[in-house]
Amino acid sequence: MEARFDYYGSATGQKFAKYINSAGKASEGSGVPYATIQLVLLRASQINGCGMCTDMHYKDAVHAGDQPERLNLVAAWREATVFTDAERAALELAEEGTRIADAAGGIPDAVWANAAEHFDEEQLAGLVSTIALINAYNRMNVMVRVPAGNYKPGQW
C-alpha cells in the first residue's frame, strides 16, 4: 500500500501533529498504567483498521515488556483470560468510545460504571483523552493510507 500523500511531510500536517501530540501529553501522569494505555491504543487502532497505529502500539507494548501472546489476544479480550478486570474495563470503554457512532446513546451507563469501579476521575480523564486522541490519529492515517510495518519502538 502506498500513502495517498505525505501528510506528515506537509506543513499543515506537521503543525497539526505537533499540536495534537501536545494535547496527548495532558493524559500523561493520569495514573493509568502504561500497559493499559497501550492496550487501549492497540484495540482502538484495530477497530479503526489503522495499520500504522496497530503496528506502532503493538511494538511499543512489546518493547515495554508486555507479552506478544497477550497482545495477540487484544481483539478477543472478552474471551481471553490474560487481562485484569481493570484492563477489561479500559478495553470495553475504548471499544465503546471508538464505536460511538454505532450507539445512539453514546457510551452505555453500565460500561462507564464498570470503568469507574477500576479508575478514579483523573484516570478516567486520562482514558477518555487517550481514546479521543487515538481515534483522531487513526482517522488521519486511514484517510491518507499511511503504510504499516516499518515502525521502530520509540520512533515517535
Instruction: Please provide the DSSP assignment of 32-82 as one string.
Output: --HHHHHHHHHHHHHHHT-HHHHHHHHHHHHHTT--HHHHTTGGGTTT-SS
How wide is the angle at C-alpha 79 spanned by C-alphas 98 and 108, nearest 5°? 35
Q: Are 57 and 71 in contact (CB under 8 A)?
A: no
Determine the pLDDT at residue 25: 87
The single-letter code of the amino acid at 156 is W
Q: What is the CA radius of gyration of the chain?
A: 15
**Is it true that domain 32-144 has CATH number 1.20.1290.10?**
yes
Q: What is the C-alpha separation between 91 and 119, in angstroms, rounded?
A: 13
Determine the pLDDT at residue 34: 94
Asked if residue 86 has pLDDT above 90, the reply is yes
- Summarised one tens digit per residue, pLDDT across range 88-125 is 999 999 999 999 988 777 899 999 999 999 999 999 99
The three-state secondary structure class of 149 is coil
Name the percent of the chain lying above pLDDT 70. Answer: 99
Determine the pLDDT at residue 1: 79
Determine the pLDDT at residue 67: 97
Asked if residue 83 has pLDDT above 90, the reply is yes
Determine the pLDDT at residue 153: 93
Which burial class, exposed, middle or buried, applies to 60 when counting CB atoms under 10 A from its CB (0-12, 13-18, 19+)? buried
Determine the pLDDT at residue 27: 85
- Summarised one tens digit per residue, pLDDT across range 13-43 is 999 999 999 988 888 889 999 999 999 999 9
Q: Are 91 and 118 in contact (CB under 8 A)?
A: no
Q: What is the C-alpha separation between 29 and 79, in angstroms, rounded?
A: 30
What's the residue count for the chain? 156
Determine the pLDDT at residue 105: 79
Determine the pLDDT at residue 155: 81
Q: Mean of the per-residue pLDDT values for the chain? A: 95
